[in-house]
Structures are given as C-alpha cells and as structure tokens.
Amino acid sequence: MLPGKPEEFKTSAGTLTMTPIQHAGLMLQAEGQVVQIDPAQGSYDSFPAADLILITDIHGGHLSAPTLDKLRKASTVIVAPEAVAKSVTGATIVRNGETKTTYGGLRMYVAGDTENIPEMRALKNIDVAFVPMNLPYTMTLEEAAAAVKAFKPKVVYPYHYMGSDLKAFETALNGSGIEVRLRDWYSR
C-alpha cells in the first residue's frame, strides 16, 4: 500500500491535487484554492487554511470544531448536510440529490458515512470515488465492492476503512475495469 501522499488529476481547467489526510479527511488543491473534506482526525498543522470545507457527517470522524477553527478563515465557505449545519455556524446546506459544480469537469464522489444505498448505485459518470468500509457507520468491504461495481467510477479509493482488508476489496473489483488505489489513510 502506498503512503498517503499528494496525487494529481489532470482536468480541462488544469491540475487538481488530492492529499489523503486521515480516516475520512482529504484535501483538494487547484488554482490556489484549498478544499478540505471532513477535517477531523489527524494533524492539520502543516496544511493551509481552506477556501471551502465540505463536511459529510456529524460524527467525530468527519467533524471536529477545533480543526474547523484551525482551517477556517473569514472567507471560508462550509458546505454540509442539514444535520451538520445545525451545529456549524454559517454552513451552507446541501441536500440529497443536489449537486455542486466540479473542477475542470472532474466528477468526484466522496461517500462519507453511507451504506450500499440505491442513490449511490445509481450514480453516473464518476471519475474518482472515495468509498468507506468499516462498521458500524458504513458498509462491509463486500457491500462497498458491490456498490462500486454498480456505479463504476474510473478510479476508487477505499478510505474510512480502519481494520478492513483492502486487498480483499481490491480482489473483489478485479476484472471490473475500475482502478483501485490503495493508500495509507492512517499514517499522519
């Protein structure tokens, strides 16, 4: 398994860099803009303040008030589901089924805490997916593999996987045409 180092994606608008942080946290950077997703676990001391923070869930693996305070600047926009917005002042609510503009046509799906639900299986044209697999808040690796096979992203990163057998997940997707990228999300 490769360490959680920055990786680049080429888009029609330029390069987007993705950096795994820890557990469910990751950072996206493009054109001088910084997006933090689920900044909760791990050290954020060496990372820049965020222009945009996306929070997928209210649990401690996704939401940490002290980390938000560390990454937030006056102009930071926070986007979250309604349950999170109740506890995070000034958050913009995104509801099930809503979409936001993607960078340079790159379509990313960050699952957060979810199960193998019909809405996920129905996704289309996903370039990069981040899929969780550890109980009790997400799904088993078998359920995660079945979901990924259904919506067929070009690339999938298992994340939020503490204790899961990532090689078994990779094996379950052999022959699917989906590139599985195993990264160490727990080394920070």
Residues forming beta bridges with residue 16, ordered by sequence position: 9
**Mean pLDDT over residues 101-130, rounded?**
92
**pLDDT for position 102:** 80
Confidence of residue 2 (pLDDT cuts 50, 70, 90): low
C-alpha–C-alpha distance, residues 68 and 127, integer Å: 28
Confidence of residue 114 (pLDDT cuts 50, 70, 90): confident
Question: Looking at the domain that runs over 103-184, which CATH code has it been given?
Answer: 3.60.15.10
What top-level class would CATH report for the domain 2-93?
alpha beta
Q: Within 10 A of 31 (CB to CB), how many other CB atoms are there?
A: 10
User: Domain coordinates of the chain in residue numbers?
Assistant: 2-93, 103-184
What is the rounded average pLDDT for all residues in the chain? 92
**Mean pLDDT over residues 86-105, rounded?**
86
C-alpha–C-alpha distance, residues 18 and 28, integer Å: 5
Residue 112 pLDDT greater than 80, yes or no: yes
Residue 101 pLDDT greater than 90, yes or no: no
Question: Above pLDDT 70, what percent of the chain?
Answer: 98
